Structure 1
């Protein structure tokens, strides 16, 4: 059985445990964003000890499962894995955001854009050393959270939400993906560590084949897997599943719906696909 308390994390049990509702196992990626800095006016990172004390005290009502300092690798855990935590807004009715899975593991990375550590400024979380990520990922995965982002790996402080995808798909979600919430964090997140099954050239997802590849009538198993991902992220504009390995009008309409969901507009939200939205779609390799 997986560990209720992450090995190596400091245990600070705040009590107030409550069960989850069952369903697809999820992890939610947050950043603490406790100061507003800019490129012109960076600010020093808030000390890890301050946030740890906050979640043990006045911030108990919004504490995550794990507070993670990606600069040092320090971690503190406040509730066990099989309990809900309260880092998400949960309005009456609809999905119970903090409980919608066999686990809903909430990870708060100590970070805000343009934070300064030892004189160096960090614009995005992905720019930090990411110390402890491999261990954190392994613990989350031990709770059967798969290495996938059902709504796309975050690459910017933008939001797109789909309650059906949220309720039916296991995996990692950005706070920016969660229904009933309006946050846009974490902005970026780290790639999943390579495992034996995902150690080949190019990683686990299909690389962008280039815009010229997407010609009407092209037949490829990649097209079928793209079709399935567009349906999974709530952009189904298909009239039929017949010949789903052949690029047709349904692919064009569905992909353009995905581009709009990724906050692209105008000519940037028209066929053919571009690398940014293709990478966000995460079409799996065969």
Structure 2
């Protein structure tokens, strides 16, 4: 199962979790915080990330998304797990349950408003920012089965384009706040392109890792452990054969992920393997 909490995000759980509606397809909803009104002639400084985090854990709990993302620094805060609905869109009683209508409904607020100023430079659109951390965010949301499609089109302007009820019920993927039924917002105005994910080796099962087994999969795993600074090998000869050095090095990787005791025994499990991202041959 994917991680309900994005590994790169500061967990700021506001509680009040509630399930999504699994009869609908997985989706994500893109927002900008739009917390100041600036113009090209009168730009304004970006509001600090800490201010928005405090808002969503305080008086703004009733409007909190899953993720607050700072596209300038790559910082993240997460207020609800992926498995819960969040509260960043209007959801009329008896309506389409906009915050819940999906196996997941992962809502992202990018810390941004048009013509914000950061370090003396003004940014008119979200896609003009560095979009730092977008690859990690996209990968985590994709791990929950949200397809790389915009059923209503990728947002390119601050305009309203409400999704028809039938499309909303049947088509998963990414939606702008401007697309969500029962809402009147026009954000986010733009959003970065999807990031191509490298093909990774699927988890071969714990029984695959037996002393003396040779496989190019083990060799590629060896290289990834070294790249992740988990090299506990005494020799790099025969990197494609499973042995004691692999156990020590993989245990270091498990510990890096936060596992302890018997959970860091050096034998790959699905969660740690998927995080290692061993490339497919």
- TM-score using structure 1 length: 0.68
Task: Using the TM superposition, give the Cα deviation of residue 92 of structure 1 relative to its aligned residue in structure 2, in angstroms.
Answer: 2.0
1:159 shift after superposition: 1.4
Name the counterpart of 1:194.
196
Tell whether 2:54 aligns with 1:61. no
Paired with 1:194 and 1:9, the residues of 2 have a C-alpha distance of 21
Superposed, which structure 2 residues align to 1:1-286 within 5 Å? 1-22=1-22, 23-161=24-162, 162-195=164-197
Aligned residue in 1 for 2:258? none
- Structure 1, unaligned stretches of length 5 or more? 198-286
SS in 2 for 1:30: strand
Q: For the residues of structure 2 that align with 1:95 and 1:14, how far apart are their CA atoms?
A: 24
Shift of 1:94: 2.3
Name the SS for the 2:51 alignment partner: helix
Shift of 1:196: 5.1
Q: Distance in 2 between matches of 1:190 and 1:115?
A: 17
1:41 deviation in Å?
0.2
* Larger CA deviation: 84-93 vs 113-122: 84-93
Q: How many Å apart are 1:87 and its aligned residue?
A: 0.4
Partner Cα separation in structure 2 for residue 59 and residue 118 of structure 1? 27
Separation (CA, whole Å) in 1 of partners of 2:30 and 2:75: 17
| Greater gyration radius | 2
Secondary structure in 2 aligned to 1:136?
helix
Is contact 2:116-2:122 (8 Å) kept?
A: yes
Q: Deviations over 1:144-188 (max 9, x none)?
A: 000000000000001111221111101000000000000000000
Deviation at 1:21, TM superposition (A): 1.1
Note the residue ranges of structure 2 that are not aligned, 5 or more in a row. Answer: 200-281
Deviations 1:20-61 (A, max 9, x none): 111100000000000000000000000000000110111011
Cα distance in 2, alignment partners of residues 2 and 145 from structure 1: 12
Instruction: Provide TM-score, normalisation by structure 2.
Output: 0.69
Q: Is the 8 A contact 2:156 2:189 kept in 1?
A: yes
**Number of equivalenced pairs:** 197
